[in-house]
Structure 1
Amino acid sequence: MNGVLDFLTEPWAYDFWRRALQVALMSGVVCGVIGSHVVLRGMAFIGDAVAHSVFPGVAVAFVSGFDLVVGGAVAGLLTALLVAVVSQNRRLKEDSVIGIFFAAAFGLGIVVLSTAPGYSGSLESFLFGSILGISDGDVRNVAVVGVVLLALAALLHTKLVAASVDREQARALGLPVLWLDIALYTMVTLAIVISLQAVGNVLVLALLITPAGAARLLTDRLGVMMLLAPVIGAGSSVAGLYLSYRWDLAAGGLIVLTVTAVFLLCWFFAPRHGLLAKLRTRTRRASPAPVPEAP
């Protein structure tokens, strides 16, 4: 028992640990809420695409000597706005437009970076995360953006759900579908940007999608899903952070592996939609009906 308590309390002696824990919690909660809308709409691709779209902004900021996170946010928002406008053309499917523009954005980032020698080491924290190197200013920025995102998600919840479930019906009801798309893309972009320092550009999609996917397996109610997803995201982030401290391994990678393990447990053991539940249902259906005894 004392060993467990020591394991849980020992890291709190370090300032860098407390900052990392705060960012891990906030990133997990925000990504869980925003990711629920992404999963509901079937837009998992956009998470990966947005992560790529922030790359040119980071590249320009790196070459120019500006803040990498700010550069990434600006580039992601501009690209998301462009996708939202162009995808209103019904001849083009949304995933096609996303693929076109976000791939172009990533290509632009590579071209910009090729002009700066010796950039690879400086961008390692952006690609793979550097949660243990977070400053007090970073914690404040994540907190402010996180609160704004959660407030927007609560304010637009009903309209975003309506536009996700049936876009044509939403238009018929007079909802501003284009502006709702822009709002969702913007929230996804900002959620990804504030999570970059936790898990990095390469792994950020897992923090956005996996907790919501696990929650989707546990409940049929959207409200419950949006409560479970941030709990899973925050809990997995904290657990992964503790494991990284214990084993001296990469924090971002262990956070992602932890939330993936939670997803697999839900996929296997979920009471209604898990693998075991489906096998039991099939077994009952396949069992022959009892033969009544002759009088």
Structure 2
Amino acid sequence: MIDLLVEPMSYEFMRRALLVVAASGVAGALLSCWLVHMGWSLMGDAVSHAVLPGVVIAALIGIPFAVGALIAALVAVALIGAVREGGTVREDAAMGIVFTALFSFGLVLIARFPSGQDLHSILFGSVLGVRDSDLVQVLAVSAFTVIVLLAFRRDLIMLAFDRLHAHTLGLRTRALTGLLLATLATATVAGVQSVGVILVVATLIIPGATAQLVADTMRGTMIVAVVVALVGGVTGLYAGYYADLPPGPVVVLAQAVIFTAAQLFAPRRGVIPRAAAGARARRSGMMTA
């Protein structure tokens, strides 16, 4: 068992991959607690797909991928806000329009300049091919995301649970919303390197959704979400190594398995405990009658 754990880490590319999966996983897990609670899952989907043209353009002009992806994510957030503020379409429609348009633009760029682009690695991640420069970028944007979410967690929790009350207390709700959207952009950039543009939304949703089934407080939700992300990430990385599979999809599958287990067995909120409690209540009612 020890050999199975140690052998993959004897390779430098696996050690870099582990750092990327851990850093991006923690950042995405913390943010997912807010995305799930506030009903921003579609926003995460929109931003994750919208970074594609930024990644492609960054590769074409030779700048760090994180810079291009971050700019594209911020542009997507601004465009969604502009379309929504126009008042002509609903927010979900605005998100759908923006992210499909930007994602299609990225695909067109890849088709137009195919020689320098690896579509598979962009869409599904290339965590085993992470270079030192990529690692630094991921660690930087992940650290920014984590620091911001922890530093402003009290205000952001108030915003998530009662926006009107937060405003009456004097909190700058618009600024906090913008800050949360900025962390969504940076967390997306971090996750793209590990699981790719298409699958990164899963790492921004599954940990928080799983944690809400288990924990009762926001602090507990954050802790459980981070544990889910780390366990799923490490399990997926090792499973991909030994089964000779791409790590990105396996990481997402590992997190999905954890979510399924929580959905079935979580105390009070799990399907099986609730069914058992309902059966006991019915038996008690029949005995009382």
TM-score, normalised to structure 1, is: 0.90
Match of 2:165 in 1: 169
Shift in Å, 1:23: 1.0
2: CA distance, partners of 1:155 / 1:88: 29
Shift in Å, 1:74: 0.9
Match 1:116 to one of 113, 116, 129: 113
Match 1:209 to one of 205, 215, 234: 205
Match of 1:281 in 2: 277
Shift in Å, 1:240: 0.6
Structure 1 residues 174 and 90: alpha-carbon distance in aligned structure 2, compared to 1, 3 A threshold: farther
Match of 1:54 in 2: 51
Match of 1:22 in 2: 19
Match of 1:185 in 2: 181
Shift in Å, 1:85: 5.6
Alignment length, in residue pairs? 288
Shift in Å, 1:46: 1.2
Matched, 1:103 2:97: no
Match 2:226 to one of 222, 227, 230: 230
CA contact (8 A) 2:17 2:127 kept: yes
1: CA distance, partners of 2:85 / 2:157: 18
Q: Alignment partner of 2:51: what SS?
A: helix
Shift in Å, 1:194: 0.9
Deviations, residues 12-50 of structure 1 (Å, cap 9, x unaligned): 211111111111111111111011111111111111101
Shift in Å, 1:81: 3.1
Match 2:259 to one of 255, 259, 263: 263
2: CA distance, partners of 1:191 / 1:21: 17
Match of 1:155 in 2: 151
**Higher alpha-carbon deviation: 165-174 or 145-154:** 165-174
Which ranges of structure 1 fall in alignment gaps of 5 or more residues? none
Match 1:78 to one of 75, 79, 86: 75
Structure 1 residues 178 and 97: alpha-carbon distance in aligned structure 2, compared to 1, 3 A threshold: farther
Match 2:61 to one of 54, 59, 64: 64
Deviations, residues 127-185 of structure 1 (Å, cap 9, x unaligned): 11111111222222222222221110012212222222233333333322222221111
Shift in Å, 1:114: 4.2
Match of 1:248 in 2: 244
| Alignment-mate amino acid for residue 106 of structure 1 | F
Structure 1 residues 18 and 279: alpha-carbon distance in aligned structure 2, compared to 1, 3 A threshold: same
Shift in Å, 1:290: 2.4
Which ranges of structure 2 fall in alignment gaps of 5 or more residues? none
| Alignment-mate amino acid for residue 67 of structure 1 | P
Structure 1 residues 246 and 112: alpha-carbon distance in aligned structure 2, compared to 1, 3 A threshold: closer
CA contact (8 A) 1:84 1:182 kept: no
| Alignment-mate amino acid for residue 164 of structure 1 | A
1: CA distance, partners of 2:79 / 2:156: 19
Shift in Å, 1:222: 1.1
Deviations, residues 204-261 of structure 1 (Å, cap 9, x unaligned): 1111110111111001211100111011101110011011111111111111110100
CA RMSD of aligned residues (A): 2.1
1: CA distance, partners of 2:59 / 2:41: 28
Structure 1 residues 117 and 134: alpha-carbon distance in aligned structure 2, compared to 1, 3 A threshold: closer
CA contact (8 A) 1:27 1:234 kept: no
What is the 5 A alignment of 1:191-202? 191-202=187-198
- Residue identity (%): 34
| Alignment-mate amino acid for residue 212 of structure 2 | R
Match of 1:40 in 2: 37
* Larger-Rg structure: 1
Q: Alignment partner of 1:273: what SS?
A: coil
2: CA distance, partners of 1:89 / 1:161: 28
